[in-house]
Structure 1
Amino acid sequence: MPEFEIFELGDLPLLSGGTLKDAKLAYRTYGTLSAAGDNVIVLPTFYTGTNTRNEGFFGPDRAIDPARHFIISPNLFGNGRSSSPSNTPVPQDGPRFPLMQMWDNIAAQHRLIHDHLGIKKIALVAGWSMAGCQSYQWAAQYPDMVQAILPFCASAKTSPHNFVFLEGVKAALCADQNWNSGNYDCPPEAGLKAFGRVYAGWAFSQTFYREGLYEQLGFQSIEELMQDWEQDHVQGWDANNLLAKLATWQAGDISAGPLYNGDYKLALGAIKARAILMPCTQDLYFPPEDNEIEAHHMPSAIFRPYDSPWGHCAANPGYDKGFAAQLDVNIRELLEE
């Protein structure tokens, strides 16, 4: 079976007023849709993730199991599988790729799931980081379709501090002399390495480094870990793709668009889905305080933080077994109600 399929969207109108020509949404499904259509789980992708990476969040005897659920994993625009700067033809290639907001991603996913697959109800939308941000967006944009959400290490609106953190990694990448405003002839490797090295300082907590938890990942030193993050970004990611998704992240706000016109509290209050908000207490860019505020304005939300020295990466499959176990507990609670 191929790693993903492509849903042809045609010319996709964008929230910005522009249009993405010949838009393509990559996705994969797992499991079988029940006769009642009541076992649908949507797992969007995170910042440096694909539907393949999402496979670490489900499996046999997990809370999400293809033997019981019909799982749909749509890929974020800009991730190299869906329409992205790296695979879109002139005149929207590279740095000319348009701003894709959360609204645009979820509108496209709705066309796939509701119009193409014929699904009327989603039992759960869940995800880590930007995928969790998309779960909030789903619940606000299509409140009558989504029954439950579980965003973990995520937020409904990108905070000012989160925005500034992203400016820092972006500046590191764009300082490369080969960047050339995105019109590079060869990958800006120095910029990509700098991006990865700066990111490593934010992805884990202070406790993670203080206690040397990087050794559990097989690294003998902090320098080894940072070199690994450098190579991961050089080998795994196109620079324009990283910045396209970063722009989506920075613009994240479930109230953006014609439904709520920027009224953040109104958007949160309109969410009908049951929700468990699961931040990591030591996450440096999605701090639990943001989720606590959100839960106050959501009709059916439980604020349930998890303490982990792994910081934002507590959710990375295989890193913190305790986080994974609690995630499954929370998912089962939402699916069993």
Structure 2
Amino acid sequence: MADYEIFELGDYVLQCGKTLRKAKLAFKTFGTLNAAKDNAIVYPTWYSGQHTENEWLIEPGKALDPDKYFIIIPNMFGNGLSSSPSNTPAPWDGPRFPNVTAYDNVVAQHRLVTEHFGIETLVLVTGWSMGALQTYHWGALYPDMVPRILPFQGSAKCSRHNFVFLEGAKAALQADAAFAEGWYTSPPNKGLRAFGRVYAGWGLSQTFYRIEADLTHMGYASLEDFLVGFWEGLFYTRDANDLLAMLWTWQNGDIGANPVFKGDTKAALAAIRAKAILMPASTDLYFPPEDNRIEAESMPNAELRVIETWWGHFAGGPGTSPDDIATLDAALKELLAS
């Protein structure tokens, strides 16, 4: 049995001008919504991840405590649970699945929160990586509803350098002849495994590899064991078109690129009135601290707090670095107490 629920969005018109018919938003909740409906936290998913891969941060005694808060994890479009290339019927299946933006995701999530649960005010929005992208959008689009945000290891807009990294991963996947321009009849396993190997050089820092943390901290027997077991293993079970749909969302992520802010990224950042802690990782190769530092300059109530770590992007999850998790959890507790 599925451990999640489905919110039916109906025919959902996207920014790209196409309609996602009978659109579905998959979600899971933890804890109990109180009578006042004022104890809810939204915690969106990340690139390729599903709600189960967010759960490591939710635990009694931690900041995201289900004994205190009602925690909603909405699954991104394209992740295989919400409407995605792999579960949408023809003619919008596979490579014909329409382009979905972060704005499209967050507006749908807002409908879930307000229409399904009747929630008018949130306690916090937080998320890792693409979850951080969605967190920024929540703050900008619904400033009266969101008093606190903590985006970690992510940015409000995809940088040009980040875009180029993703082009490399995409090209590796699409180079597999079995990919067949997205009309594959069986998984393009060579491309999926190549996709994981491209990611391996970006997800973790140079220092991580220099000190052989794959062996000493993650329990692999050799570098090749790590590349196959962790990185190929992370992606080869995912649907290729799902990965590419979410990759498009990532590459086109921009908090200002929507009807509200009409392309003005700085105005969108300035609209975030929430008390914000921006938490990049010092060695993140996707989202270096400089990107968040620039964003914080345009935000009226933001603090930049860099996590000093050699874990790179994976300082943020999913549950790989205990010391960095403790630092993140302490910041979340501080923000929630403010």
TM-score (norm 1): 0.98
**Matched residue, 1:182:** 182
Number of corresponding residues: 336
Alpha-carbon distance between aligned partners in 1 of 2:239 and 2:321, rounded to the nearest angstrom: 29
Are the equivalent residues in 2 in contact too, given 1:317–1:324 (CA < 8 A)?
Answer: no
Aligned to 1:32: 32
Corresponding residue number in structure 1 for 2:21: 21
Alpha-carbon separation, structure 2, partners of 1:331 and 1:238: 33
List per-residue Cα deviations over 1:237-270 (Å, max 9, x = no partner).
0000000000000010010111111111100001
Q: Is the 8 A contact 2:57 2:319 kept in 1?
A: no
How far apart are residue 158 of structure 1 and its match?
0.5
Structure 1 unpaired stretches of 5+: none
Q: Deviations over 1:62-110 (max 9, x none)?
A: 0110000000000000000000000000010000000010010001101
SS state of the match for residue 120, structure 2? coil
How far apart are the structure 1 equivalents of 2:249 and 2:324?
A: 27
| Partners of 1:172 and 1:194 within 8 A in 2 | yes
Q: Distance in 2 between matches of 1:46 and 1:249?
A: 10
- Whichever residue aligns with residue 81 of structure 1, its letter is L
| Matching residue of 1:279 | 280
Q: Which runs of 5+ in 2 are unaligned?
A: none
CA distance in 2, matches of 1:232, 1:70: 29
Give the residue type in structure 1 aligned to 2:25.
L
Residue in 1 aligned with 2:9?
9
Q: Distance in 1 between matches of 2:186 and 2:270?
A: 47
Which whole-Å CA distance do the structure 2 matches of 1:192 and 1:172 have between them?
8
| TM-superposed deviation, 1:35 | 2.3
* SS in structure 2 of the partner of residue 52 of structure 1: helix
Alignment deviations for residues 144-168 of structure 1 (CA, whole Å, 9 cap, x no partner): 1111110000000000000000000
Of stretches 314-323 and 221-230 in structure 1, the one that deviates more from structure 2 is 314-323
Equivalent residue for 2:199? 199
1:317 CA displacement = 3.7
Helix, strand or coil: the match of 2:334?
helix
Shift of 1:36: 2.3
Moved over 6 A (4+): none
Q: Please give the residue correspondences for 1:251-270 in structure 2 after superposition, counting only pairs within 5 Å.
A: 251-270=252-271
8 Å Cα contact 1:187/1:238 also seen in 2: yes
How far does residue 321 in structure 1 lie from its aligned partner after superposition?
1.6
1:226 maps onto 2:227 in alignment: yes
The DSSP-based 3-state class of the residue aligned with 2:51 is: coil
User: AA paired with 2:303?
Assistant: I
**Alpha-carbon distance between aligned partners in 2 of 1:82 and 1:313, rounded to the nearest angstrom:** 24
SS at structure 1 position matched to 2:165: helix
Give distance in 1, aligned partners of 2:125 and 2:317: 18
Question: What are the superposed Cα offsets for residues 277-331 of structure 1, whole Å, 9 maximum, x if unpaired?
Answer: 0000100011000000011110000000001111001112432222111111111
Match of 2:235, as an amino acid? H
Distance 2:95 2:107 in 1: 23
Please state whether the residue corresponding to 1:276 is helix, strand or coil: strand
Kept in 2, the 8 Å contact 1:178–1:188? The answer is yes
**Partner SS for 2:314:** helix
One-letter code of the match for 2:311?
A: W
Which residue number corresponds to residue 217 of structure 1?
A: 218
Pairwise CA RMSD: 1.0
